[in-house]
Structures are given as C-alpha cells and as structure tokens.
Structure 1
Amino acid sequence: MTFELVKLPYETGALAPVISQQTIELHHGKHLQTYVNNLNNLIPGSKFENATLEEIVKGAEGGLFNNAGQVLNHNLYFTQFSPNGGGNPTGKLAEAINKTWGSFDNFKKEFEKAGTSLFGSGWVWLAKDNVGQLSITSEANGSNPVTKGLVPLLGFDVWEHSYYIDYQNRRADHLSELWKIIDWDVVGKRY
C-alpha cells in the first residue's frame, strides 16, 4: 500500500494567527511529507505491504513504526482544525468529557498540563476505550494511543517544529491557543 500526504481541509494561511502559514507549510508540506516518503520507502518487502496505518503502528518497530506513527498522528492532527473552529464540544462527546473531568474547562486544564509536562517531543491525546471511556494520554515521539488499544480523538503535537516559529519556547501558550481552531464536529465524529 502506498500512502499519500493528507490534504488540508483549509488553505495554509487559514489558521493564522493560531498557526501561521509558514508553520503549516513547513510542518505539513515538509515534515509530514518526509514521514510519508520514509514510510513508503520502508514498506516494500516488509510484512506490512498491505496494512493500514493503524495496523503498522500497532505491529511495527523502529523506523517503520516511527514514520507510520507520525503519518497517522499528523493525519488526525491536521484534519481536526478549522478556521471556523473553537467553542466547546457538543453531544455525546461533551457529555463524556463532563462526566470524566467535571467540565470542559477542567478537561482543557488537564490536557494542557499533560502536553506541557511531556518531556521532549511527542503528543498529547484525548482517547477513548472500547466502551467509550475517555482518557488523556501522553505519547513520546511518534507513538499513538492505538498502541494501547485506544481510539485517538484529539491530538496536540508537542514537537517543537509544530510551534517554534510562532511561539518559540512557549509550548504552553501554543497549547492554550489551539482550542480556538478545533473543529469539534470532526472530533465528535471520531467519538
């Protein structure tokens, strides 16, 4: 199977000032494209030639795992944003968040705390288990909650390339701004 660069559901400058056009062009067009190219170069001859991204992430190791994980993570990441995003989740996802954390504000605090406290590079995720129970997971490097049998719903990239141009070393500021562009309809459908 050959993987392709995920198409953005918005123009590269549409998320500014939360994420600048320059950051999108480098992050999506350069970093993610490199992961896609690397993944496609590593698959031939492996047992994952006809596997989905999730299957590769669940079963691969080393470079194949790292690149597949980053492709999966970024596909979810870039498609969860909208220039018309923000606000609060609704429906069953909102109910589950309120049940688990008491309020959306409490959830955001815990989510941001997980993202700022993750040492080095990685991801913070809102994920669900097979009965719909929500949790926040911190994943190092290119890992994803699918490795723990969970379904990723919302992910914030805390690799420096995702925010350094716009926020320098202020990871916490970056995380708190991302809520303004979350497309809760997209995230809610994942739930």
Structure 2
Amino acid sequence: MPFQLPDLPFAKDALAPVMSAETLEFHWGKHHRAYVTKTNELIADQQQLSGASLIDVVRDAKSAGNNKLFNNSAQLWNHSFFWQCLAPSQGQKPSGRLAELISDAFGSEEQLLQKLQEEAVNHFSNGWAWLVLDRDLLKITSLHDADTPIVHEGMVPLFTLDVWEHAYYIDYRNERPRFAQTVLSSIVNWDFVAQNLDGKGFDRANQEGSEARSPELTT
C-alpha cells in the first residue's frame, strides 16, 4: 500500500496519565489506521494519483470535490502531524525565537495557552485547534472535521490539538475543557513547534506515494 500508519514518536504509555495507553490504542491504533486504510482503498483505482504524495492527494481531492478521499487523506495527515505535537511531560517550555513570537503576539506562554484552550473548547462539534504562522505572526484558529492547513493559503502549521471526541472520551469522557487544559499545560512538544517555524511543518507529516505496478505479463 502506498501510505502507512506512521510510528508514534513515543511509547504508547509515555503520555500517561494525561493521555493513556488505552486512548492511543484506539485513537492511533484504530482511528488513525482506518484513515490510512481507507485512503489507500480510495486511490487504488485512480491512476492520476499514482506516485502522488499524501499532501498532493489531499489537495487534489479538495480541488476535485472528492469529499470522501479528502476527509480520509486529510485526517491521515492531520493525525500524523498531531502526534509529533506531543511529548512526555518533562517541564518543556518554548524558548528562543518561538518564545519571542509568543510574547509579541500573546504577551506570555500562559496567555497563548489560554487562548488556544478557549479555541479548542469553543469549537463546535469535531475538528482541530491550530497554532499557525502567518507572515511572521502567530495566530490561533480552528478547522472543522477533517479540514487542514494544507488547503488554506497563509496557514503554516506549528501545533494542533485534536478535539474530535475520540481524542479524549476514554480518559476524560465528555469533558473537553479538562482534556484541553491538561494536554496544553503539560505535554506540548515545544521543540517540534519551534522547528516548524522554518515553514516545513507540512513535510514533517507528509508521505511519498508509490507508483502503481503494472501487472506482470505471463506467457
């Protein structure tokens, strides 16, 4: 199959108790895997997408109005980016240029996290809360369902928080506010966020496609 379920960048129990191994068994092991499987199924008979990268598939599906392929491929990418936004709680803090940009845009890390939490909590129904870079200015926004910065001009992804119910229902039941506050206050991978200031965050969750193989001739 052209696309794969990427490995988690940490052990499945490494984020506990903020995010349990059971949540990751379902969220990564089942939901994320299902997006991979369905994306591969949907592109199997589309010759024009042979060898296309995951990002190319997402953009092509969006422009073609292929909602089923867009939803699955975009969710494949969104989740691949999301896991890298998290890290075991070790007192990590933003530093360097990232800390300066946070100060300029929000005043402090605490104010940034508060606004990001509010965005996540107030987002209606399923979707993603995003911290993005727009012309050297940090901005907070949210996107519904499978929507992704890949198809929005001027949205350079730095960090995202999944606010679909499957992200938190095992550990927090229906308490999205507690989920958002707990994750944002303790397991943000600020090194990854800072790395994405180079504008290459899209590529860090991308996958190259494989060329379709022609059937072997038999004699």
Tell me the alpha carbon deviations over residues 56-101 of structure 1, each in whole angstroms, 9 at most, x when there is no partner: 2233130111011111110011122221444321111111111111
> Does 1:24 pair with 2:16?
no
How big is the shift at 1:173?
Answer: 0.5
Residue 43 of structure 2 corresponds to which residue in structure 1?
Answer: 43
Q: Which runs of 5+ in 1 are unaligned?
A: none
1:151 CA displacement:
1.7
Number of residue pairs the alignment of both structures matches: 190
Where do 1:55-70 residues align within 5 Å?
55-60=56-61, 61-70=66-75
Deviations 1:134-164 (A, max 9, x none): 2112110011122212121100000000000
**Other-structure match for 1:183:** 189
**Structure 1 residue matching 2:110: 3-state secondary structure:** helix
Tell me the SS of whatever aligns to 2:49. coil
- Cα distance in 2 for partners of 1:72, 1:132 equals 24
Structure 2: state its 5+ residue gaps: 198-219
Q: Which string of whole-angstrom CA distances, capped at 9 and with x for unpartnered residues, describes residues 13-64 of structure 1?
A: 1110000110001000000000000011111233333322222223313011
Q: Is the counterpart of residue 161 in structure 1 residue 191 in structure 2?
A: no
Instruction: Report the Cα distance in structure 1 between the residues aligned to 2:109 and 2:37, rounded to whole angstroms.
Output: 38
Q: Is the partner of 2:130 in helix, strand or coil? A: strand
Q: What SS does structure 2 have at the residue aligned with 1:55?
A: helix
Structure 1 residues 100, 48: CA separation in 2 closer, same or farther (over 3 Å shift)? farther
Q: Based on CA coordinates, which of the two structures has the bigger radius of gyration?
A: 2
Q: Residue type of the partner of 1:58? A: R
1:133 alignment partner in structure 2: 137
CA contact (8 A) 1:86 1:183 kept: no
Could you say which residue in structure 1 is the equivalent of 2:11? Answer: 11
The Cα RMSD (Å) is 1.5
> Structure 2 vs 1, CA of residues 19 and 4 (structure 1 numbering), >3 Å: closer, same or farther?
same
1:34 aligns with: 34
Q: Quote the residue 1:53 is aligned against.
A: 54
Residues 59, 96 of structure 1: CA spacing in aligned structure 2 closer, same or farther, 3 A cutoff?
farther
Partner of 2:77: 72
**2:159 alignment partner, SS class:** strand
Runs of 4+ in 1 over 6 A off after TM superposition: none
Q: Write the mapping of 1:107-146 to structure 2, written as runs, cut at 5 A.
A: 107-129=112-134, 131-146=135-150
